[in-house]
Amino acid sequence: MKTPASRRLPPPATLSLCCAALLVACSAGGTETAERSRAPAPAPKVSARATAPPDDPRKGYADAVAAVLPSVVQITAGDSLGSGVVYDARGHIVTNAHVVGDAEDFEVTLATGKNPHKASLVSSYPAQDLAVIKLDEVPGGLKPAVFGDSSKIEVGHIVLAMGSPLGLSSSVTQGIVSAVGRTVSEPREGGGTGATISNLIQTSAPINPGNSGGALVSLANEVVGIPTLAATDPELGDAAAGIGFAIPSATVTDIADQIIEDGEVTSSGKAALGITGRTVLGDDYRPTGVAVVSVADDGAAARAGLKSGDIVTAVGDTRITTMLSLIEALAAHRPDDRTTVTYERNGAPNTARVTLGEL
């Protein structure tokens, strides 16, 4: 059997993070837990109604801007700028992990544009590119946003992106929902977290540097997502117009609630196979699968009988050729899902039934 080797292969499209930098890009990663607060926080306003557009879209635009823009803030983290959304009346603000980077102290400028307020990190969760910060002192008139039910968002719905693109605070752009359920991997360079995030909302609303952490808003005046990524043309290196991605509000509220209540994320909701692995190249130097380097004790792979040296070639009906393809395949599942894993052992094909664990 050929000795496993690895090679980093470029994805078919490049995605850029949307945190604007004054001098340098946001640094990668974040502090897992900077503050632990177990006092229950007031729940954010969450609506379960359908996000149907109003009869007059022009009036709908104005109503949505008036209702939600006061809840969108600008965040300064060192030399970088990003956006955030006021989550509750206690001063919690949700944003992207790549916006906060390695910083623990921030300046937050409210939509009123008055003097910035000091804020501190509660916790950052790079695995879903989300973070929560908290205002040191809660100003009067702070307006929490209403978070809608992102499962009711449909392709074709009109949405608005609100944030601080290129440092222009309280900016609004308009588009539609282009697709739902996208799985996208962030880059690590340029301050990215390297996370693979599933169930993203794709939108044609222009997403520019500085929009990260802001609000994707329906015409029902609800935040349905947090803008995070914009696509770039891999050949030209320029922004690919009309292709942006937002973390759905269901993921945002799940992660934010855990951080606020427990000081950290206690349940990722992301499926795991329980292996470490690396990409294997075939005789033609093309990737052909993922070699299992080690198997976690009592993990999903171990319980299914996989061993070090096996080469994973498929998860369910999804062909696996690289570590990235394996991560993206798992991102489409939830913990405790049952699926099949196809693998080679000593050159012979095998199939195992696996109950996935949690990352």
Residues 235 and 272: their CA atoms lie apart, in Å, by 33
Q: Is 16 left (phi over 0), alpha (psi -120 to 50) or beta?
A: beta
Amino acid residing at 243: I
Residues 108 and 71 sit within 8 Å (Cβ to Cβ): no
Look up 212 and say whether it is catalytic. yes
Q: How far is CA 126 from CA 28, 58, 107, 190, 285, in A?
A: 9, 37, 21, 14, 32
Q: Write the CA distances from 238 to 13, 69, 178, integer angstroms.
A: 12, 28, 20
Q: What region, left, alpha or beta, does residue 45 occupy, with left being phi > 0 and alpha being psi -120 to 50 degrees? A: beta
Reference 18, options 227, 224, 225; nearest CA is 227
Give catalytic status of residue 129 as yes or no: yes
Cβ atoms 205, 175 nearer than 8 A? yes
Nearest to 144 by CA among 111, 176, 192: 111
**Which DSSP category does 300 fall into?**
H
Give CA separation, 332 vs 101, 144, 228, 237, 250, in Å: 27, 31, 19, 28, 15
144: nearest Cα among 35, 232, 253, 274: 253
Strand 275-281 to 271-272 pairing: unpaired
Coil, helix or strand at residue 136: coil
Which among 164, 169, 171, 212 is annotated as catalytic? 212
Reduced to 3 DSSP states, what percent helix, strand and coil does the chain have, rounded to the nearest 5?
Answer: 15, 40, 45
Q: What DSSP element (H or E) covers 285?
A: none
Q: Which residue type sits at 115?
A: N
Please pick, among 98, 117, 157, 333, the residue that the annotation labels catalytic.
98
Residue 300: φ, ψ to 5°: -60, -45
CA distance linking residue 321 with residue 314, whole number of Å: 8
Mark whether 92 is an active-site residue. Answer: no
Residues marked as catalytic: 98, 129, 212
